[in-house]
Structure 1
Amino acid sequence: MTGREVDPVRELMERHRTSCEQAVDALEIAAALEDAGLGPAEAARCRHADVFSLAEELYARVPRRPPTAPVPVPPVRWQQRSWQALRSAVRHGLPAAALAGGVAVLPPVARGPLAVLCGGWLAWAAARPDGASAPDGTVLHRAGYGAGVALLVVLPVTTGGPAGAVLGVAVATAVGAVEWTTGWLRQVGWGHLGAARTMADFRARMWPALPVASALHLLATAGLGLTGLLLLTAVGPRPGGGLLYEAVHRATGPQWAGQAALALLLLPATVLLRCGRATPAVAGLLAAGTAGLLLTAAARYRPETAQLLACGSAAALLLPYAWLVLGRPGAHRR
């Protein structure tokens, strides 16, 4: 014992000196501390109420190196994001459409092998690295992500009849919209990381982002599904009602709800992957796919009801978690 109290803030200064010297504001230091796993308990040990208050002291005590400069926000390349989203839509939509077409024309004995083949194709498409649109995480995470997407899409396409198949293909194609939306959310986070002055300010700016993105994604997915049903209705016999009316009512209410639940599950799962939370994202997809398969196989629920229950439950867990993660500055530094 030396009789001299150790300054815990100085210890943090030494451990995170590089981050503190290169930070352009206290919020960036707070993000670095969060990335390092520091939380309220560590802040309390340093006699601060929260991590941001601790970051403000570090920012004040550590000299800047290099001189203060604007936060390096990645350039907005919406054209590139749009092109990547279009490629993703085609890459995911093709195997789903091939499966739907095969189920419609092949005998039942051939549908099982076709489902395995197209499911593997879809899993490969979802898991393969492809620049910014690739799922993050380890190879195992990417494989789990692809398997989860394939399982969730194959089930409605093979068991939901013509309308269910169309809605399943629409969800697969809408993965392109998921990719675009995820890139937009990361871009928004980068922008607010430079503009927000406090942690509370950053969270307040980010909180509306995921609800807005979810609503837009639901509209895009429903629009793709309605377009497919319009085409299906136009080429088939109609009882005599209007085209739009017949197309909307070609799918049942539970089928529309199941499609919405699946869409609301894929978005937060992909967001979590991009923000470095791959394990809960993959676990949610695989759990929902497995639960839907078991509920359908047990014949206790219709396929669309099983999809609604499984995907809705998983989405109810992942959406709030993704919302909280997006409010953390560290999620946008990866």
Structure 2
Amino acid sequence: MVRDGFSGTGVVRDGFSGTGVARDAVSGAGGVVGTVEAGRVAGVGPEASRVGGARRSPGRRGAADPVKALMHRHRELCQRAVDPLEIAAGLEAHGVTDRTAARFRHRDVFSLAEEMYARVARDGEPTPPPAEAGPPGRSARWAVLALLPGALCAAAVSGLRLTDGQPRLAVAAAGALAVALGLRAALRHGPLSAPNRTTTSIRTSTCWLLAYALLGDGLLSAGLDGGPDGFWPPATASVLALALACAPAAWCARLFAVRARRRLTASRGLEEFAASVQPLVFGVFGLFLCAMAALLALCGAALGEPAAYAGAGSLGALLLLARLLTVHGFGHAPAVVLGAAGVAEGAALATVFAGRLPGCSFLATPVETLVAAWGPGAVPAVVCGTAALVLLIHATRTLTRASAHATTSGATP
């Protein structure tokens, strides 16, 4: 480390990393202060700098430029960014805050990102062109795909009600396959498409939760009554409502992505952006819950079944939050929470049947008490409702970050 005093104005520190040189200095004449923390964010350590084992001489030190050092460390981010907002989001993801930006003589991360973006173009470094708008029919395509799972599920339910015996089993198998393919198409295009492939754990947990929504309540009731004796009726109204809810989920995801992107453009600080997006998270979530309740009421009336508002509604809310987080690059928490919810529902069923073993009746007591008070739908309501609350709290902390909205599929036209 080389330290030179300039008339008591401060200390200059230079350091070398494996990728380049970051310089930070104190100028007594101009009053420009480059701090150690700015150098640390730019990748500069306080260790002594040597080239070939020789200490640098004071005469070879150039003008201090900590912003250039920061650009050098985040060179790939600066080169691929199509606007300053992506640089701001990337800096925030790497731990740069508004307070840190002040060390670079900028009022916030957005101002620092604007300088970095402008300097990339000024220095002649290649900058990717802005993304072109999609074809006119792109929005119509994902909107149609979002309706596909509900349409296929409605066709499958109609087939089940018109058939019996072996043909009914064939229709059920074909319908399940068709709905799965339709759901896959809806999740691979448009606002619900994730930047990375959905993990196997998320797919497995989602399939189990949907299967429980279709058959779980009937099996639980039959198990508590000493059965099951034969096949129990499936909750087709709940599953049909969940399939139809794919469309409002897509529109809610798009609404959230577009509005959040606009607020990111208008915000001048990370805290300001987080404060403006948090009500948007709750607003979109509440809007989906209203749509889910309406679909449950509609499907229950059309099929002549009681609407499972608590159980299916909480599952729909859980799946929406999990998908929103996954779309914006936060897939770990949804995988854990969905897996925990699936295990909890499986454990509830297992305890009911395990309670029949000699001396193990106490295992079924919690589930029996809950079902006696609120019905079999209370189990998925409690499990999925608790899981949705956990993800909602997590979403208010993660989806309010600028880095969550750097590039999202939901913002596509």
Give TM-score scaled by structure 2 length.
0.61
CA apart distance, 1:195: 1.9
Query: Counterpart in 1 of 2:377?
Result: 304
Whether 1:284 aligns to 2:292 is no
Moved more, 173-182 or 72-81: 72-81
Indicate yes or no: 2:13 matched with 1:5.
yes
> Shift in Å at residue 74 of structure 1?
8.2
1:53 paired residue among 73, 89, 108: 108
Structure 1 residue 121: deviation in Å?
5.3
User: Which protein has the bigger helix share?
Assistant: 1
Q: Which of the pair has the greater relative contact order for Cα pairs under 8 Å at 6+ separation?
A: 1
Q: In the alignment, which residue of structure 2 is the partner of 1:186? A: 257
Distance 2:316 2:118 in 1: 47
Per-residue Cα deviation, 1:210-257 (whole angstroms, up to 9, x for no partner): 211111111111111111122223xxxxxxxxxxxxx7xx34xxx311
Amino acid at match of 1:91: P
Deviation at 1:278, TM superposition (A): 1.8
Q: Which runs of 5+ in 1 are unaligned?
A: 234-246
Change (3 A) 1:230 1:283: same
Q: Structure 2 regions of 5+ residues with no counterpart?
A: 4-11, 15-23, 25-38, 43-65, 123-128, 219-232, 353-363, 408-413
Question: Alpha carbons of 1:58 and 1:196: their partners in 2 closer, same or farther (altered >3 Å)?
Answer: closer
Tell me which residue corresponds to 2:403.
330
Look up the match of 1:229. 300
When residues 48 and 184 of structure 1 are mapped into structure 2, their CA distance, relative to the original with a 3 A threshold, is same
- Of 196-205 and 308-317, deviating more is 196-205
Which amino acid is 2:311 matched to?
A: G
Q: In the TM superposition, what whole-angstrom CA distance separates every residue of 1:134-169 from its partner, at most 9, and x where no partner exists?
A: 542544x25444333322222122244569430222
C-alpha separation in 1, matches of 2:257 and 2:277:
10
- Max Rg structure: 2
Report deviation, 1:283. 2.8
Number of the residue aligned with 1:270: 323
C-alpha distance in 2, partners of 1:215/1:55? 30
RMSD: 4.0
1:294, CA displacement in angstroms? 2.5
- Mapping of 1:179-218 within 5 angstroms? 179-218=250-289
Find the counterpart in structure 1 of residue 386 from structure 2: 313
Name the CA distance, whole Å, in 2 between partners of 1:293 and 1:97. Answer: 29
State the secondary structure of the residue aligned to 2:377: helix
Give 3-state SS (helix, strand or coil) of 1:298's partner.
helix
AA aligned to 1:154 is A
1:322 aligned partner, one-letter code: A
Cα distance in 2, alignment partners of residues 267 and 173 from structure 1: 13
Q: Helix, strand or coil: the match of 1:207? A: helix
1:125 Cα deviation from its structure 2 partner: 4.0
TM-score by length of 1: 0.73
Shift in Å, 1:78: 10
With over 3 angstroms needed to count, the CA separation of the structure-2 counterparts of 1:189 and 1:206, relative to structure 1, is same
Structure 2 counterpart of 1:177 = 248
The 5-angstrom pairing of residues 129-140 of structure 1 reads 130-133=188-191, 135-139=193-197
Give the AA of the match of 1:53.
D
Q: Give the total of aligned pairs.
A: 305
